[in-house]
């Protein structure tokens, strides 16, 4: 009887011990969260999840908690300093690029000091997928030395396989080809899809795979950058990944996919290439910082576009993208036009948006409507609408189409274009890449493109907002979950 009683009590004892251990660990982790530098909503979100379901919350925090992974990233960043002697010696500006002094605001935006912005560049807006694919294909087919492609999503669909075939052909004729993709974003890309590229001499690497050797189960810190550099002479960056919807501008059966890329030639290409070189070293530990990958800067056109590079990530806080967005909003004198698929800003950016509108700046935001957006993200951004509308911000939502373009146009003079969204993930968690273009025709073209796309959108009014208690509660919950999405 005693033996049977002990056996029946055994599962209960284990359950009690697991509960006690879970609660102790939960308290320790909660203390760690409270001691870290973290936004209020993120703090509340993690504490609630961990205390309500300790073991589930602890597992989620290990997988998603950015502070745990950031410490490892900082240590790894120290290792990448071996590249600095070569990268620091690169002349990122052509002689004629220094003739015109940079506006103070743009130096602050890019965060690289007085040499942040480089003149003598040529910038071409590529608003449609076919135009980008055509331009990129031409650059790949005429590459002579190297092709470096970095993307968040590389789908093994018709478009992705066609791109891989073009890269394989280039590698077979002796061009150095390197493909860097995010391991989670490109989850469906398998080794079998890269066999021919590798056989031709090309290389590929996944950024922070799930079982990354420097931090197992790294899930939440993703490389969201999109960049193609060919021979150090031409670069493409923006919001497009590699996949059918990005190439054909189709969303579902009938809706359109709105996105944008920018083609750049000139001295700033080397600054963009530096971003790839550092990320490639992180993923593949191959040093590409030699002069053979950074040709001497030459002016493409004079005076040309003045362009600065903004590369942000969770390894450097505060994020350069966070500072860039804040400074753009703070410096606006007459207008701010924003295109972003997601609208989940932190409190500081929300205050910057409303403050700009309240001091008379015309602020308009173009984002996705209910039919195009994922439910939790749609309700999360609707949480911010009352404050934005009350301040005078105009909000336009797509009806059927999907707006994936990420742009900010300020005073019809400054354009910020790249991979980041206007959300917590882009400003605090993702590795992102963008460029600031000053006083160039591409700025006006971008603004006109946004306005043309707005013709198919619907402006949100205060009367359109849900006022019920349940609806506001749902929006609040989705907002609290946003930092850990």
Catalytic center residues: 224, 226, 231, 404, 406, 411
Closest to 330 in 3D by CA, of 306, 358, 364:
358
Cα distances (Å, whole numbers) of residue 467 to 176, 357, 481: 58, 23, 21
Closest to 337 in 3D by CA, of 411, 266, 397, 274:
411
State how far Cα 250 lies from the chain centre. Answer: 21
């Amino acid at each position: 009887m005693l033996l049977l009683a002990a056996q029946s009590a055994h599962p209960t004892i284990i359950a009690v011990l697991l509960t006690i251990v879970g609660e102790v660990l939960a308290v320790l982790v909660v203390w760690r969260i409270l001691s870290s530098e973290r936004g209020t909503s993120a703090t509340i979100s993690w504490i609630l999840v961990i205390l309500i379901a300790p073991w589930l919350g602890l597992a989620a925090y290990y997988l998603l908690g950015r502070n745990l992974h950031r410490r490892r990233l900082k240590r790894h960043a120290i290792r990448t300093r071996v590249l600095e002697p070569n990268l620091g010696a690169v002349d990122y500006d052509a002689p004629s690029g220094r003739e015109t002094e940079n506006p103070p605001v743009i130096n602050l935006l890019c965060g690289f000091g007085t040499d942040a912005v480089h003149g003598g560049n040529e910038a071409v807006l590529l608003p449609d997928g076919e135009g980008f694919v055509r331009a990129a294909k031409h650059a790949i087919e005429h590459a002579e030395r190297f092709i470096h492609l970095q993307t968040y999503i590389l789908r093994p669909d018709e478009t992705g396989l066609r791109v891989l075939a073009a890269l394989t052909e280039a590698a077979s004729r002796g061009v150095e080809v390197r493909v860097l993709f995010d391991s989670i974003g490109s989850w469906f890309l398998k080794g079998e899809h890269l066999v021919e590229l590798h056989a031709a001499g090309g290389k590929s690497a996944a950024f922070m795979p799930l079982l990354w050797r420097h931090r197992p189960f790294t899930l939440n810190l993703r490389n969201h950058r999109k960049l193609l550099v060919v021979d150090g002479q031409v670069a493409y960056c923006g919001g497009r990944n590699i996949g059918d919807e990005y190439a054909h501008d189709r969303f579902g059966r009938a809706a359109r996919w709105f996105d944008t890329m920018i083609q750049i030639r000139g001295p700033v290409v080397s600054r963009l290439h530096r971003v790839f070189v550092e990320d490639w070293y992180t993923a593949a530990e191959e040093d590409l910082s030699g002069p053979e990958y950074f040709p001497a800067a030459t002016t493409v056109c004079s005076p040309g576009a003045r362009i600065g590079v903004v590369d942000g990530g969770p390894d450097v806080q505060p994020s350069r993208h966070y500072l860039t967005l804040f400074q753009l909003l703070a410096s606006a004198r007459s207008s701010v036009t924003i295109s972003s698929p997601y609208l989940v800003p932190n409190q500081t950016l929300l205050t910057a948006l409303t403050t700009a509108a309240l001091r008379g700046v015309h602020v308009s935001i173009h984002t996705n409507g209910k039919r195009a957006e994922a439910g939790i993200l749609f309700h999360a951004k609707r949480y911010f609408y009352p404050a934005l509308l009350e301040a005078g911000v105009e909000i336009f939502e797509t009806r059927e189409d999907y707006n994936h373009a990420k742009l900010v146009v300020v005073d019809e003079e400054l354009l910020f274009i790249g991979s980041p969204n206007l959300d917590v993930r882009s400003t605090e968690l993702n590795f992102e890449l963008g460029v600031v273009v000053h006083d160039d025709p591409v700025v006006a073209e971008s603004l006109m493109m946004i306005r043309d796309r707005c013709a198919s959108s619907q402006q949100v009014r205060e009367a359109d907002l849900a006022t019920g208690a349940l609806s506001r509660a749902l929006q609040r919950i989705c907002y609290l979950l946003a930092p850990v999405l």
